[in-house]
Amino acid sequence: MKKAKKMLASSITAVLMAGILSAGVASAWNEEQLQQLKTTKSCIKCKLDGADLSGANLDHANLVGTYLCSANLSTAILTTANMAYADLSGANLSGANLSGANLAHAYLNGTNLSNANLTSVILREASMTGVNLSNATWTDGSKCKEGSYGQCNQ
């Protein structure tokens, strides 16, 4: 009886671990959609979690509703990009140029926006819990102080 319980517990553990591992794989970006973005600068509701787009020129890109959780967009050019409803939770946008971008209703929780240019960015109803805004240029052109998290301290 004890041996049967141990086998059952081992089986359940194996199934749970397989589910956890497959969930991690499922959150990876879609390579076809990544190529679409790079060639057309448009990828609506795409799955690009964890993608490396550092330094990419995505000015005027259409990324409405796109999943970019934990993506690397450091030093990317995203001027006037439409990123409304995008999920950028945990993404690295340090040093990115987002001037004039639309981030209305975007999820930015835990995003690194240090040294980013946010001049004239639309942040209406964006979720910004824990966002790193250290030394970022704020929407009105002013500079955020070092250590600004969640809001721009000037």
Encode pLDDT of 87-141 as tens digits.
999 999 999 999 999 999 999 999 999 999 999 999 999 999 999 999 999 999 9
- pLDDT over 50 (residue 80): yes
Q: Which tokens go with 94?
A: 């340090």
Given a cut of 90, whether residue 69 has pLDDT beyond it is: yes
Residue 77 tokens read as 């050019």
| pTM score of the predicted model | 0.81
In contact, 58 and 37? CB cutoff 8 Å: yes
Mean pLDDT, range 65-93, rounded to an integer? 98
How sure is the predictor about 28, in pLDDT bands with cuts at 50, 70 and 90?
confident
* pLDDT of 7 over the 90 cut: no
For residues 36 and 56, is the Cβ–Cβ distance under 8 A?
A: no
Domain 41-139 has CATH 2.160.20.80: yes
> Residue range 12-34: average pLDDT?
55
Is residue 57 over pLDDT 80? yes
* Residues paired with residue 132 on neighbouring β-strands, in sequence order: 112, 149
**CB-CB contact of 39 with 18 (8 Å):** no
Q: For 80-85, what is the mean pLDDT?
A: 98
CB atoms within 10 A of CB 134: 20
